[in-house]
Amino acid sequence: MRTERKRDMRIGILTSGGDCPGLNAVLRGFCKCAFNIMDDVEIYGFLEGYAGLMNRQYRRLSLADVENILDVGGTVLGTSRQPYKLMTVKEGDAPTKLQMMVENYKKLGLDCLVTLGGAGTHKTASLLSVEGCNVIGLPKTIDNDIYGTDVTFGFHTAVDIAAGAIKRIRTTADSHSRVFFVEVMGNKVGWLTLYAGLASGADCILIPEIAYDEDKLAGFIKGKKSSSRSVIVAVAEGVISAREAAMSKKERKEYLSQFGVATAAERLSAVMSQKTGMQCRSTILGHIQRGGEPCAYDKFISTEIGAFGAHLAKIGRFGVTVCVRGNKLGYNMLVDIAGKTKRVPSDGQLVLLAKDMGIYFGE
């Protein structure tokens, strides 16, 4: 990227929302590049995400602080969830959370705020941008659901973890001749379940974008089990049956109450055990998908995204978020992508190819 003249900058940076592999790698990439291409740049890391900006909790970062964190999981700055819907809520005479952040941005004399986060983080970043703060977003989430980018950092590590777990479950399912429902993270979108299911050889993949039919699913399991010792179903945590989709909110709440606090995979295991008469088990992978060292690809893309963000800061390209399109880095305007979700197209090439290979989607 062609850059303009060097200039002094005071930059704030934070990691917000759920943690994921690659946060520290992005932080390192941004800081190392910024220290190298800018004169006298100051970088302040806000602690615990947007909460640190609200409460003015931060520390100045040096090259030594980020030099050896490429392989480290989690985030050295800490993170927290700050619901977007509460950002502009007024409580008495107290300023809103958004007003507190804008005020502290100005009091600290920041030239730029860099936010590492997912969908909620980007919506709040867009609000800050509209309020006059110079913001650059860096796309993080294992869900891979940020609109306008082919990939988010952290996604491929989560795919590796989930796929590896499903492959291991296959061996125990074969040993005991059972049906396993393996729950993968993804409340609103199914990218992670789709990729992990394909990479692990799952027999069936259930995602939020495609409602499943309980009776047809039971029929598939019976047919598959007649020719195989085991059946593996990769289940996104936000899946919904066609029967549930046709219910009102009240009706669905009453229906789900019979399962208590059971997760999607646990509910499916119970229902399919009853419908098929087979031994069905469930496994919830949970937060293990977000933890640990990033894979090599995420280390690479995280470093690249971080460094690209530093170049955007240097040339004063604000109000944007970095994106990856066709293996090239670029950026989108925050106001154009905030609040939008990249969903798995039910008639997209990946789903159609999977169906052509005999993978069932519950329809």
**C-beta of residue 218 within 8 angstroms of C-beta of residue 173:** no
Sheet of strand 42-46, all strands in order from the earlier edge strand to the far edge: 58-61, 42-46, 10-15, 112-117, 135-139, 320-325, 328-333
R_g over Cα of the chain: 22
Tokens representing 115 are 């936010």
Block residue for tokens 């419908």 = 275
Tell me whether strands 58-61 and 320-325 are parallel, antiparallel or unpaired.
unpaired
- Size (the chain), residues: 363
> 316-320, long-range: CB within 8 Å, 24+ apart, which pairs?
316/4, 316/134, 317/136, 318/112, 318/129, 318/134, 318/135, 318/136, 319/129, 319/134, 319/135, 320/136, 320/137
Tokens representing 42 are 């100051």
Tell me whether strands 328-333 and 320-325 are parallel, antiparallel or unpaired.
antiparallel
Residues marked as catalytic: 143
List CB contacts of 128: < 8 A, sequence separation 6 or more: 98, 101, 102, 105, 113, 135
CB atoms within 10 A of CB 83: 10
